């Protein structure tokens, strides 16, 4: 039996998002017992995009001991309650993928089954009426969708981040630029930057004593803002599998398998947005609708279509509610749902649904406007309120 030995020297190559996030977490965890060296190239800059993320960053920053209000003031950040998808199901239609939960589940069946039962019995309130985050999303993020790709708009405190993601096989570079610039209002602060990327990930993210984190490990695309989150997951995984002396090939195999599972699950969720759509108005969308999707995604889509069921596997990032919102938002209505919902009589079902809607409305009414809260919590002047995040973000 060998006594564990802490690593003494850790070198991080690259001083971008992944490098600094890794350095901060490793230094915080190992403290003075290890030297952490960050190597930054003067010749190669950072990619310079990637400003939108998802709620687990709150936990990461807490782990680092970062005060949220100070962090948000320094980065001029805003709270993100979800993503508005415009024109994804079809031109002129929109839906909101909110973070957090919707309605109230039964142990045997998610809330969607009760909502479907209610719908069949004439309760017309949309699924989103049962979601606090969605109803509270006054300062939301929007993604506008042109016909050969999609555009994002991320409102920060001091400026808006804008970009267009397009397939070069379907749209010329100049046309993409025109489309982006014609939809951006206000003063232009930086010149547009073209970034060409190939979607994919390294099969082995950990090899020998080297781990690829961030873009060096792979990239899918900015839709659903998953890359910073993947950095944070990889860093936490490295810390959980910190070698106790010699590197165990079992650790390496486990790490690589967990990373690959994350990538595949996120890949499926991203492809869902392109596949499940009624849009046929351009060659790009027709190609998306006709493409073959991975078997894992097909099973998920068809299971939901048949039964209304979604299962979250192996610490999957996107929970049931995310899948449900995107699938229903883009046009899949389940053909059947769990029979437990039929157990409630009309009065009980109406009371159950109304109770949730009323509760959401009451909570939303009591929340301050997003802009006012930001100003108070992390605007230019020092914070005058407690450092707790707003209730709408806590689910
Ligand atoms: C269009 C677009 C939009 C995006 N939007 C989002 C988003 O909203 N949310 C999100 O989470 N992610 C987004 N991403 C992904 C985002 O870019 C990453 O999450 C994040 O910036 C990656 O950090 P990184 O450290 O891997 O790369 P970087 O921040 O680019 O850092 C790379 C570092 O490595 C160094 N380096 C690179 N090559 C070499 C070399 N050969 N030798 C030595 N040093 C080198 C560089 O100098 C730099 O210091 C987006 C990506 C794209 C392309």
Q: Tens-of-pLDDT digits for all 395 residues of the chain?
A: 677 777 789 999 999 999 999 999 999 998 888 899 999 999 999 988 878 888 889 999 999 999 988 998 998 888 888 888 888 889 999 899 988 889 988 888 899 999 999 999 999 999 999 998 888 884 443 343 456 778 887 777 777 788 889 988 888 898 889 888 887 778 888 888 899 988 999 999 999 999 999 999 999 988 888 999 999 999 999 999 999 889 999 999 999 999 999 999 999 999 999 999 988 888 889 999 999 999 999 999 999 999 999 999 888 999 999 999 999 999 999 999 999 999 999 999 999 999 999 999 988 888 888 888 888 888 876 544 444 433 333 22
Please report where in the chains the tokens 């680092």 appear, as a residue.
64
> Which residue has its alpha carbon closest to ligand 1 atom 7?
50
Q: Tell me the CATH number for domain 9-394.
A: 3.50.50.60
- 240 alpha carbon to ligand 1 midpoint, in Å? 24
Q: How far is the CA of 49 from the centre of ligand 1 (A)?
A: 7
Cα(256)–Cα(251) distance, integer angstroms: 8
Global pTM reads 0.80
Q: How far apart are CA 25 and CA 239, in angstroms?
A: 8
Taking CB atoms within 8 Å and a gap of at least 24, the contacts of 196-201 are: 196/168, 197/221, 201/259, 201/260, 201/263
Nearest CA to ligand 1 atom 29: 16
Which residue from 21, 214, 224, 263 has its CB within 8 A of the most atoms of ligand 1, so it is best to mutate? 214
Instruction: Calculate how far, in angstroms, residue 218's C-alpha sits from the geometric centre of ligand 1.
Output: 10
How are beta strands 210-211 and 206-207 bridged, if at all?
antiparallel
**Any idea where the domains of the chain sit in the sequence?**
9-394
How many Å separate Cα 184 from the centre of its chain?
Answer: 24
152 CA closest ligand 1 atom index: 8
Q: How far is the CA of 46 from the centre of ligand 1 (A)?
A: 6
| Best probe residue, ligand 1, of 17, 212, 216, 221 (max atoms within 8 Å of C-beta) | 17
Ligand 1 geometric centre to CA of 70 (Å): 24
What SS3 class is residue 71? helix
CB contact set of 284 (below 8 Å; sequence gap of 6+): 147, 148, 149, 167, 170, 171
Name the residue among 369, 367, 365, 392 with its Cα closest to residue 379: 369
Name residue, tokens 């406007």.
369
H or E segment to which residue 164 belongs: strand 160-166
Instruction: Please tell me the distance from the alpha carbon of residue 236 to that of residue 250, in angstroms, as a whole number.
Output: 17
Question: How crowded is residue 178: how many other Cβ atoms within 10 Å of its Cβ?
Answer: 11
Are 301 and 350 spatial neighbours (Cβ–Cβ below 8 Å)?
no
CA 47 / ligand 1 centre spacing (Å): 5
By the 10 Å C-beta count (0-12 exposed, 13-18 middle, 19+ buried), 393 is classed as: middle
Identify any residues that bridge with 243 across adjacent strands, giving them in sequence order: none
Ligand 1 contact, 50 CB (< 6 A): yes
Q: Say if ligand 1 is within 6 A of residue 180 CB.
A: no
């Amino acid at each position: 039996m060998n006594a564990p030995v802490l690593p003494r020297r850790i070198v991080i190559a690259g001083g971008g998002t992944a490098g600094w996030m890794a350095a901060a977490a490793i230094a915080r965890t190992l403290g003075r017992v290890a030297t952490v060296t960050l190597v930054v190239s003067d010749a190669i800059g950072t990619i310079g995009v990637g400003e939108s993320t998802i709620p687990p960053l709150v936990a990461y920053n807490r782990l680092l001991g970062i005060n949220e209000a100070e962090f948000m003031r320094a980065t001029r950040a805003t709270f993100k309650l979800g993503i508005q998808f415009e024109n994804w199901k079809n031109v002129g239609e929109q839906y909101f993928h909110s973070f957090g939960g919707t309605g109230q589940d039964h142990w045997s069946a998610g809330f969607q089954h009760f909502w479907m039962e209610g719908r069949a019995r004439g309760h017309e309130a949309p699924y989103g009426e049962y979601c606090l985050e969605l109803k509270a999303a006054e300062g939301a993020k929007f993604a506008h969708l042109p016909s050969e790709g999609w555009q994002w708009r991320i409102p920060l405190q001091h400026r808006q981040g804008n970009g267009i993601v397009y397939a070069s096989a379907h749209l010329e570079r100049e046309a993409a630029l025109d489309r982006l610039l014609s939809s951006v209002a206000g003063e232009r602060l930086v010149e547009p930057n073209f970034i060409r990327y190939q979607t994919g990930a390294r099969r082995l993210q950990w090899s020998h004593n080297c781990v690829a984190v961030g873009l060096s490990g792979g990239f899918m695309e900015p839709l659903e803002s998953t890359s910073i989150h993947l950095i944070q997951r990889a860093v936490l995984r490295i810390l959980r599998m910190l070698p106790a002396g010699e590197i165990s090939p079992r650790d390496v195999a486990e790490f690589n398998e967990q990373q690959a599972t994350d990538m595949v699950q996120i890949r499926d969720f991203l492809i869902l947005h392109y596949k499940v759509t009624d849009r046929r108005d351009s060659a790009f969308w027709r190609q998306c609708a006709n493409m073959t999707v991975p078997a894992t995604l097909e099973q998920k889509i068809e299971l939901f279509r048949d039964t209304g069921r979604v299962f979250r596997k192996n610490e999957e990032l996107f929970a049931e509610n995310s899948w449900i919102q995107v699938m229903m938002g883009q046009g899949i209505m389940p053909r059947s749902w769990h029979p437990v919902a039929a157990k409630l009589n009309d009065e009980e079902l109406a009371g159950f649904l109304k109770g949730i809607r009323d509760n959401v409305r009451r909570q939303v009414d009591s929340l301050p406007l997003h802009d006012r809260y930001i100003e108070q919590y992390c605007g230019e002047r020092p914070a005058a309120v407690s450092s707790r995040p707003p209730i709408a973000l806590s689910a």
